[in-house]
A = this chain, B = another copy of it.
Amino acid sequence: TSRPVKKANYGNRGKSLEDDINDSNEYYLANGVAVIHKKPTPIQIVDVHYPKRSAAVIKEAYFKQASTTDYNGVYNGNYIDFEAKETQNPTSFPLKNFHEHQIRHMEAVTKQGGISFVLLKFSPVDEIFLMDSQCLSGFWERMLQGGRKSITKEEVEAHSSYIPLGFQPRIDYIKVIDEIIRVSK
């Protein structure tokens, strides 16, 4: 009997990294594994109408740049904080996907004893990697000092943990965190 390996893979095309992470977080929450949520998108509200007998309507608002990261929460007593990014580039991960204040936020989290990382997805090949934020900071500093503005795929492979796509949870990043905690002890 043939195994539908490719089929399962293709079935995911079109599903964003964020959707898969949200599904995984729901799975973790429902099973008492971890409590991790996506933060709401920050919005600058300018004008709100209050119609009688119905809900307030926001009539004018703008997207604000996030000052921190996409996700945070708690796993087994550990503070978890991460950003998820995908690229259409198959050979390198552009650093313009990140903002200076996100890098500084992740550094502050690490200093407070939290676990901070990024989930990087190379969308053309459906590959997801977990890179520790201290490692990301290293590549960021290289850029600031005039070096390349991206992390090559080879560098990502060498300095991250590959997370194979699964069924449930879809992206089992907690498994990698277990390893990070184990090694740090």
**Does the CB pair A79–B68 fall under 8 Å?**
no
- CB contact under 8 A between A32 and B111, given known A60-B57, A62-B58: yes
**Does the CB pair B113–A77 fall under 8 Å?**
yes
Instruction: Give Cα A85–Cα B114 distance, bound, in whole angstroms.
Output: 27
Choose the segment among A33-41, A87-95, A160-168 that binds chain B (4+ C-beta atoms closer than 8 Å): A33-41
Partner pick for A55 among B59, B62, B75, CB 8 A cutoff: B62
Instruction: Give Cα A69–Cα B40 distance, bound, in whole angstroms.
Output: 12
**Does the CB pair B35–A109 fall under 8 Å?**
yes
- Looking across the interface, which residue of chain B has its beta carbon closest to that of A37? B68
The A89-137 residues at the B interface (CB cut-off 8 A) are 105, 108-109, 111-114
- CB contact under 8 A between A74 and B113, given known A29-B108, A61-B61, A108-B29: yes
Instruction: Give Cα A33–Cα B61 distance, bound, in whole angstroms.
Output: 33
**Least CB distance, A73 to chain B, in whole angstroms:** 7
Partner pick for A56 among B59, B62, B77, CB 8 A cutoff: B62
Starting from the known contacts A37-B67, A39-B40, A79-B114, 12 additional A-B residue pairs (CB-CB under 8 Å) come to A32-B108, A56-B62, A57-B60, A57-B62, A58-B60, A58-B63, A59-B60, A74-B81, A74-B109, A74-B112, A74-B113, A77-B79
